[in-house]
Amino acid sequence: MRYSALALLRGALSGGRSWQPAWRSPEPKAAYDVLIVGGGGHGLASAYYLARNHGVRNVAVLERGWLGGGNTGRNTTIVRSNYLYPESARLYDFSLRLYEGLSRELNFNLMLSQRGLIDLAHSRHDLDSMARWVNSMHMNGIDARLLSREEIAARLPLLDVSPEARYPVLGGFEQPRGGTARHDAVAWGYARAADALGVDIVQNCEVTGFLRGGHGEVTGVTTSRGTIRAQRIGLAAAGHSSVLAALAGFRLPVTSYALQAMVSEPVKPALDAVVLSPGTGAYLSQSDKGEMVIGAGLDLFASYAQRGSFAVLQGVVAATLALFPSFSRLKLLRQWAGNVDVVHDSSPIIGPTPVPELFINCGWGTGGFKAIPAGGWTLAHVLATGRSHPLAEPFQLERFHSGRLIDEAAAAGIAH
Amino acid sequence: MPGYRLPAPAGQCIDRQQRVGFTFNGRAYQGYAGDTLAAALLANGVHRVARSFKLHRPRGVWGCGLEEPCALVDVGSGPRRTPNVRATLLPISEGLSVRSVNCWPGPEFDVGAVSGWLAPLLPAGFYYKTFMWPSWRAFEPTIRRMAGFGRIGTEPDPDHYEEIALQPDVLVVGAGIAGLAAAAAAARAGARTVLLGASARLGGQCAWQEDAEAAGLAAAVRAAGVRILTRTTAFGVYDHALVCAHETVTADGAAQLPACVLRERLWKIRARAVIAATGAFERPVLFADNDRPGVMLASAALKFAGAYGVACGRRAVMIANSDAAYAQAARLRAHGIEVAALVDVRPGPHPPTEVPRLLGEVHAVHGARAVAGVSVRTGAGLRHLACDLLLSSGGFAPAVHLHSQAGGRLRFLEESAMFVPDGPAPSLVSVGACAGMFGREAVLAHARAVGEALARECPAPAAAPDGCGRSAPLRPVAGKAFVDLQNDVTSADVALAARENYRSVEHLKRYTTTGMGTDQGKTSNLNALLLMAQLTGQPAAAVGTTRFRPPFAPVSFGALAGRRVGALYRPLRRLPAHAWHESHGAQFEIFGDWVRPVAYPQAGEDLNAAAQREALAVRRQAGLFDGSPLGKLEVYGPDAAEFLDLMYVGTLSNLGIGQARYGLLLNENGTLVDDGIVARLSARRFWVNTTTAGVERTAAAFEEWLQCEYPHLRVLITPVTARWANLTVAGPRAWDWLAAAGLDGALAPGRTRHMSLTDSALDGVPLRVLRASFSGELGYEINLPAERAAWLFERVWAHAAAVRGSLYGIEALQILRTEKGYLHIGTDTDGTTQPQDVGFARGVARKAADFVGRRSLLRPAAQDPERLQLVGLLGVDPTQVLPVGAHIAPGPAPAVSEGHVTSSYRSPELGRGVALALLKAGTRRSGERLTAYHLGRAFAAEVVMPPFIDPTGARLHG
Amino acid sequence: MMQLPCPWCGVRDESEFVCGGASHIVRPGLSASDAEWGSYLFFRDNPKGPLRERWRHAYGCGQWFNLMRDTLTHQVLSVYPMAEPPPAGG
């Protein structure tokens, strides 16, 4: 069924009985053309684009828990494409452009809110770095503008821009098309659209091993719900990429870390942009519900625990108050952590693995949410054609041997 | 309106002798000292306190503590304005001024209530299904204004917060009778015991009843020497059983407060054993219009009566899905509150009661603005009951939050429809109601046994969760039956989620927003998942709970940050001679974590003019600079030389004593991470300068290599940055100046060489003098004990006039080093730059041995001829200073960038702009004309090889 | 927030330590192939469960040591000096 204001009216008149399941809960079949392991945003998007772009509809998405329950449901919902290098800029801006049309394409309101994403400069060195950054973005064909201190003060009235501040604000830059999207809706929207195209989304189905053929190629998986065969398999299980790789017999250049985030109780509108302060490490925005959504740094030790260190939490709150002192009397409502795949250059891996017919989408580090459409699109491409999508060519495992890393963080001196 | 005060002894927590005036939405009211705002409003007959989140329905007080979903207020004004305070937790104080949230103009009449008329169009998740055309952004501002509760303040918080760590043997969380019994037993058994109580009084729900046993337990706890923290709520169990708790020190809203008070305190408690005694929350019964002001939890009405002497109505009807309702009804009657009927929704058998009992379910709540009656569907048809208070008593949900956070598992008790701990959690044991135990004798015996066992480091005896009796299964209810009152989630919304296959408990929560409000679902999560279980035909245990995450109750950001605010947030470092620079006209700026002079402007000069003058003074006469933050390490030991050869791109083991050499440091990936001068003090001792920002990571990297990869090398690394100040004199007359100041003639340019280090002294103060230069001029970097820095500045400065010497700051230093083409790590390099990109290809090639990062320089990427390399740029228009960050490209944007300008200044010596840039294949492109683009403007420039001045380096030698 | 046992100073809060990642990674020489060098630099087991890693008591004695820790529960399983081989059974 199509969602619309009219559908809501019909729903009201029918007492809700006109609504249909957003997706089925099918029993897995014995075999599919393609299996996607991981029912988060990237996995669901991959399945959707396999069906939509390539006509490959005999596809199942296998999800260990509930769909969208990994990092798709545990992030700070930021979308942006403010990258320095052309390789990254092309990939992430492609993603943002897909996001821009996605609510209508999927017929599911993802609440894409391009309210602008502002990076703060706290020193003259920051101003110089941001000039480089803005010019890079212009070269890459991406919207960006430098902001003066006064422009920032006008946009962010509660920000402490006084010269006495520990992190004084000297200026900054904005990507006007940056913003947020409703994270759960991205998973649900893709799930519903993929399901409508015939994709089986199988929840509570944990992959426990890989079946191999005579040439070492994967031919299927064993799962908590039985054996499922497939001609090709894509892994999109951020946080657990290494665990699956180990099951398939190879290693990845990945370490799993806990990444924390938190929200405050909801308040009336007080912050109408996404704000990042590279100097303090804080990044935050206000959700449509009114909660301040605040991102933290990584807990810098390997973890699969989905909970963060209290000391890191305190540091992030202190950083937030350094920028917005009046938030002191606001209350923390929820905190959580996701498990992120961190690779040395903070850029993704999308392409073949050492195992024939097994492909992977991983390594997004702390920034996978914004890349969901592009990650799905490019994984679907390689799964359908056997060849890497041109956008994904720079993002292969091979770069860790050749040294051709695409290290945005190091180049910008900024964490993702 | 129905609320009124009861005579004593009701009102254990209030002082009827002390009247307190406060205002609510601008109207003045009075209460008693000890009242919460909720109690005082109820006593004044105020039943409409706020409006709900989505539908703006009028709401009254529903609970009596932190579970309160409805009665939120904004407290105070100005810098102490505090949003979303629960009226049930806020003590009133003279002059308190509060406003309702989420309504305009007020909770009685609210324009936003228009959304209530549209309610049928706004089921759970309606926003996912519409607002897509033309785009969400067209609707978002309006919806954002409708959402949110209170308003955040706009001024910095004047109050402060502190943090205290404790390491007791046993921590008991919760000061109800179970917690008291456990704490007393633990302390009597010899354990250092800490007890946390959420309210000001001990005894939990017994604190406001006349309960001799509870009073006796409280006395026993005190007598046993338990450390008691009241008004303190444990909000999280973190790794390795760190319990974090939050104490309210100064209640919000008092009109008469000093300029700054200690508002809240954070406790970090690491106990050998933790006992949770956090009780249970009452579970409401589900019926249509259960949000009408006048409907509330039975336990809340009891607390208002007992603790504050407030009757919430004159004629109550109790809706029961639990045996507890019978005792509650009896106690209400004992307070003199009429209970017109007890409606039991369960089939029999039922306990005896003196209250008229009906068997049936609520059909409708009457009264448009507040409860006026209820009709009940019984076996004998509909019965109308007039009442002004409708109490919901649906059994209890144990507060298993801490147990779950600690990693404990849960199981479902079918009869009582509650989740209880399935055995203890790692390092946390539950007692009392939070363990699913509700019988007083059993609870006390178990709590005592647990306290004593844990004190003696023995295993705790198992709990025997028996629940709180029978409760009927929850069934979907038609109409506006609210599961989550704060977020306006109805029974129909849960049914919609089930119908649309948002059936996982996490999908249910996220799709309907159940439990995502400020009350965190204390009274709604359990009902929502029980409903989902009913709707989908699953056992409740299979639906499961959402994860219990900290915080258990909202905690202010101020308390979490503690003293890490203002100047104490990442405190800045000051130069040893900071005051001296201040008195000599320095303009300071923050560089990393240091405050440093950026320039010393004279009258009428701006920063640029001052830096130009200062830089020129260094070129023409001499300048004096404070280089104290420069990183300094001493590397000592028989294998120190071998170790440094492994660390640096260059070879250092062949340095003679007293010689110095510039070196580059790479990480193992081959990236340039630091640079600096290394000097040999003796055969076994080296003086290592690093960049200011890089000293800590360099010292850490040295230690890691030494301890983890080369443990056989006998080397000690000592960071000495803070011990040594650094006073730098540079310029053609640098030595004249220093000689005039009395430095030893042995340091004269003829007697020392560029890149040498000499130990000297002045007036008995040891000086470590390095002949080196970051300006390209004759340079002396004089290191001396930090506490003598100001003395030496004064001593040298006294002789400035003789050479027309000048002070210079960071900005002039940057001009000077750019003129000279000296790179600045992190400015002229980034995380991709390797030594061959900055002119050190031959240096790498010359060295045969391995060093950190060397193998990475042999990979294909390192051999790529198109790498970015450091070059000089001269603008074709000499008056132009190329903008830093401008990109070199074949045409205007969008285009493929070929590099960017990294440093750029007007050179006062050359009278023109000079710049450094990272440029693709740069070293092959000398003489090429190209264009740099900055924000749409084009700048023509020519590639040159730096330095821009003194290419032979003659000036370095004086 | 974890508590870690420094072999020299005893049990301290996590915030005094710095984690150096997986331990017992053998550094190849200059003659290593690009593949061997890349594996050494970047590729890790990254298990969900017991992991041998190295930590430094950075804001204490400054010493590195080995720790076996469960990456799912964060439970510390064993501690041993830097120079020692991993204990059996890990």
Task: For residue A369, tell me if it sits in a domain.
Answer: yes
- Closest C-alpha among A115, A97, A86 to residue A176: A115
B239/C82 CB distance under 8 A = no
Domain membership of residue A395 as a residue range: 24-108+183-254+345-412
Interface check B850 vs A, CB under 8 A? no
Interface check A398 vs B, CB under 8 A? no
Task: For residue A1, tell me if it sits in a domain.
Answer: no
B405 contacts on C by Cβ (under 8 Å): none
pLDDT of residue A306: 85
Q: Which fold has domain B865-958?
A: Elongation Factor Tu (Ef-tu); domain 3 (2.40.30)
pLDDT of residue A416: 33
**Nearest-angstrom CA–CA distance, A386 and A359:** 9
Domain membership of residue C27 as a residue range: 3-81
Prior bond of B947 cis (ω within 30°):
yes
Question: Do residue A63 and residue A79 come from a single domain?
Answer: yes
Tens-place pLDDT, residues B833-842? 999 999 999 9
- Closest C-alpha among B438, B408, B439, B413 to residue B423: B408
- Per-residue pLDDT band at A412 (split at 50, 70, 90): low
CB contact at 8 A, B528 and B517: no
| Kind and range of the H or E run holding A314 | helix A310-323
Interface of C with A (CB under 8 A): 1-2, 13-15, 18-19, 21-22, 34-35, 37-39, 41-48, 51, 53, 55, 69, 71-74
- In single-letter form, the type of residue at position B365 comes to V
Q: What is the CATH number of the domain that holds A288?
A: 3.30.9.10
Q: Give the mean pLDDT of chain A.
A: 95
Tens-place pLDDT, residues B72-94? 999 999 999 999 999 999 999 99
**Nearest-angstrom CA–CA distance, A317 and B565:** 10
Evaluate whether B4-129 and B631-719 have a shared fold: no
- ipTM, interface predicted TM-score of the complex: 0.98
DSSP state of B707: I
Parallel, antiparallel or unpaired: strands B428-430 and B315-320: unpaired
Q: Who's near B828: CB < 8 A, 6+ residues apart?
A: B838, B870, B902, B903, B916, B918
For tokens 């049928």, the residue is: B120
Tens-place pLDDT, residues A294-350? 998 889 999 999 888 999 999 999 999 999 999 999 999 999 999 999 999 999 999
Tens-place pLDDT, residues A87-101? 999 999 999 999 999
Q: Which chains does A contact via 3+ CB–CB distances below 8 A?
A: B, C
C51 contacts on A by Cβ (under 8 Å): 302
Report the phi/psi class of residue A77: left, alpha or beta, with left for phi > 0 and alpha for psi in -120 to 50. Answer: left
For residue B339, is pLDDT > 80?
yes
**Nearest-angstrom CA–CA distance, B71 and B61:** 5
DSSP state of B568: G
For residue A237, is pLDDT > 60?
yes
Tens-place pLDDT, residues B534-549? 999 999 999 988 889 9
Q: What is the CATH number of the domain that holds A241?
A: 3.50.50.60
B140/A264 CB distance under 8 A = no
CB contact at 8 A, A23 and B501: yes
**Which tokens in the block code for residue A123?**
């020193």
Of 3.10.20.440, 3.30.1490.100, 3.30.2130.10, 3.30.1780.10, which CATH number belongs to B4-129?
Answer: 3.10.20.440
Q: Who's near A154: CB < 8 A, 6+ residues apart?
A: none
**Nearest-angstrom CA–CA distance, A378 and A359:** 11
Question: Do residue A330 and residue A193 come from a single domain?
Answer: no
Task: For residue A88, tell me if it sits in a domain.
Answer: yes
Parallel, antiparallel or unpaired: strands A292-302 and A179-180: unpaired
Question: Do residue A262 and residue A334 come from a single domain?
Answer: yes
The residue in chain C having the minimum alpha-carbon distance to the alpha carbon of residue B856 is C37
Question: Do residue A324 and residue A193 come from a single domain?
Answer: no
Prior bond of B951 cis (ω within 30°):
no
Task: For residue A14, tell me if it sits in a domain.
Answer: no
Of A209-213, A267-271, B45-49, B682-686, which range is least confident?
Answer: B45-49
C46/A242 CB distance under 8 A = yes
Question: Do residue A309 and residue A171 come from a single domain?
Answer: yes
- In single-letter form, the type of residue at position B592 comes to G
Q: Which fold has domain B159-282+396-471+551-571?
A: FAD/NAD(P)-binding domain (3.50.50)
For residue A238, is pLDDT > 80?
yes
Which CATH code is given to the segment(s) B631-719?
3.30.70.1400
Q: What is the mean pLDDT of residues A33-41?
A: 98
Q: What is the mean pLDDT of residues A363-388?
A: 97
**Nearest-angstrom CA–CA distance, A133 and A128:** 9
CA separation (Å) from B505 to A65, A69, A260, A284? Answer: 11, 11, 22, 27
Task: For residue A388, tell me if it sits in a domain.
Answer: yes
For residue A176, is pLDDT > 80?
yes
For residue A235, is pLDDT > 60?
yes
Question: Do residue A260 and residue A407 come from a single domain?
Answer: no
DSSP state of B705: I
Q: What is the mean pLDDT of residues B723-749?
A: 98
Task: For residue C88, tell me if it sits in a domain.
Answer: no
Q: What is the mean pLDDT of residues B873-886?
A: 97
**Which tokens in the block code for residue B511?**
């799709």
Query: Reduced to 3 states, what is the DSSP secondary structure of residue A244?
Result: helix
User: Cα-atom radius of gyration of chain B, to the nearest Å?
Assistant: 37
CA separation (Å) from B788 to A62, B575, B689, B738, B739? Answer: 69, 12, 20, 16, 19
For tokens 């941001």, the residue is: A130
Task: For residue A4, tell me if it sits in a domain.
Answer: no
Tens-place pLDDT, residues B230-266? 999 999 999 999 999 999 999 999 888 999 999 999 9
A25 contacts on B by Cβ (under 8 Å): 501, 503
The residue in chain C having the minimum alpha-carbon distance to the alpha carbon of residue B236 is C1
**DSSP readout, C11-71?**
EEEGGG-EEEEES-PPPP-TT--HHHHHHHHH-B---SSEEEEEEE-TTTT--EEEEEEET
Query: Reduced to 3 states, what is the DSSP secondary structure of residue A119?
Result: strand
**Nearest-angstrom CA–CA distance, A416 and C30:** 33
- Among A13, A44, A135, A173, the strongest candidate for a mutation testing the B interface, having the largest count of B CBs within 10 A, is A135
Q: What are the backbone angles phi and psi of residue B232, rounded to the nearest 5°?
A: -125, 125
Dmax over Cα atoms in chain A, in whole Å? 69
**Which tokens in the block code for residue A313?**
């939490």
Task: For residue C66, tell me if it sits in a domain.
Answer: yes
pLDDT of residue A414: 42
Domain boundary among A342, A369, A394: A342
CB contact at 8 A, B389 and B315: yes
Q: How many domains, in total, are found in chain C?
A: 1
**Which tokens in the block code for residue A4?**
């619309």
**Nearest-angstrom CA–CA distance, A315 and A260:** 11
**Which tokens in the block code for residue A89?**
């800029």
**Which tokens in the block code for residue A35?**
């299996």
User: Cα-atom radius of gyration of chain A, to the nearest Å?
Assistant: 21
For residue A353, is pLDDT > 50?
yes
Tell me which residues of chain A, numbers 112 to 141, contact chain B at a CB-CB cutoff of 8 Å. Answer: 112-115, 122-125, 128-136, 138-141
A103 contacts on B by Cβ (under 8 Å): 132, 135-136
Task: For residue C72, tell me if it sits in a domain.
Answer: yes
Question: Do residue A364 and residue A397 come from a single domain?
Answer: yes
Tens-place pLDDT, residues C26-74? 999 999 999 999 999 999 999 999 999 999 999 999 999 999 999 999 9
**Nearest-angstrom CA–CA distance, A358 and A351:** 9
How many residue contacts between A and B have a Cβ separation below 8 Å? 333
Q: What is the CATH number of the domain that holds C32?
A: 3.30.2270.10
Let me know how long chain B is.
958
CA separation (Å) from B51 to B69, B121, B711? Answer: 11, 19, 67
Interface check A101 vs B, CB under 8 A? no
Nearest CA-CA distance, residue A61 and chain B, Å:
16
Task: Locate the domains of chain B by residue range.
Answer: 4-129, 159-282+396-471+551-571, 283-395, 482-538, 573-629+723-816, 631-719, 865-958
For residue B114, is pLDDT > 90?
no
Of 3.40.50.2300, 1.10.275.10, 3.30.1360.120, 1.20.1250.20, which CATH number belongs to B573-629+723-816?
Answer: 3.30.1360.120
**Nearest-angstrom CA–CA distance, A361 and A84:** 22
Nearest CA-CA distance, residue B130 and chain A, Å:
5
The residue in chain C having the minimum alpha-carbon distance to the alpha carbon of residue B862 is C34
Tell me which residues of chain B, numbers 642 to 701, contact chain C at a CB-CB cutoff of 8 Å. Answer: 668-669, 700
- Closest C-alpha among B280, B331, B302 to residue B471: B280
Task: For residue A13, tell me if it sits in a domain.
Answer: no
Q: What percent of chain B has pLDDT over 70?
A: 100
Helices (H), B597-674: 607-620, 640-647
- Per-residue pLDDT band at C90 (split at 50, 70, 90): very low
Question: Do residue A158 and residue A260 come from a single domain?
Answer: yes
**Nearest-angstrom CA–CA distance, B180 and B201:** 12
Q: What is the mean pLDDT of residues C7-31?
A: 96
CA B793 to mean position of chain CA atoms:
42
CB contact at 8 A, B50 and B85: no
Query: Reduced to 3 states, what is the DSSP secondary structure of residue B125?
Result: coil
Q: Who's near A124: CB < 8 A, 6+ residues apart?
A: A170, B589
pLDDT of residue B463: 96
- Per-residue pLDDT band at A411 (split at 50, 70, 90): low
